[in-house]
Structure 1
Amino acid sequence: MTLNDTLPNQTVVVHRHHATGMVRQRLMDLGIMPKAVITMVRSAPLGDPIEIRIDNSHVSLRRAEAAGIEVTQITLAEIR
C-alpha cells in the first residue's frame, strides 16, 4: 500500500520510500522516513495535492510523491 492509497483520517506507518535525489532529501527533511506515523488529513478538491499530518505538522504532498512512499495501516491503539 502507498501513501497515495490512504483515505482521510487513516493513520499509517512509513515502511520506506523510493524517492531519489532532492525529492528524497525533501521528504526526509519533512520527517517522512521509516517508522514515521502519518495521518491522512484530506485531499484537494481536484485530488492533488494531499494534506498529511506528521506529529504536529501539516504537510502537502503531490500524489506522484505520495505514490512512491510505502506504508502500513495501523490503528490508534497501536500507536499508544
Structure 2
Amino acid sequence: MKVEAAWDSEAQVWTVTDSDVPGLVAEAPAISDLRIKLKELVPELLVANGIDALPSVRFVLACSCDEPAPPTDFRPRRRFNDG
C-alpha cells in the first residue's frame, strides 16, 4: 500500500494527498503523528472496504514539501515502511 502526503503551509499540517486505500483522509501537524494515525486508519478502512487486512498491514508513506518551514521531524525523500 502506498500513501502520499504533502505539507500544507497554510494549515500547518501534513495531509494525505493520494493513497491506495479507498476513503483515506487524514492530516497531522507532524509526519510522526500522521504515521501513528495511518497505522490505525489504514487497516480499518481496508476492512470497511471489504479488502482483506492481514494481521499486519504494510504501507509506504511518501512525503513531499514544496513550502518552507515544515515540522522538525521532516526528512526529505525518506519513506517510512510500516508493518
Quick check: TM above 0.5? no
Q: Pick the structure with more strand per residue.
A: 1
Highest RCO, 1 vs 2 (Cα 8 Å, sep ≥ 6):
1
TM-score, normalization: structure 1?
0.27
- Higher CA-based Rg: 2
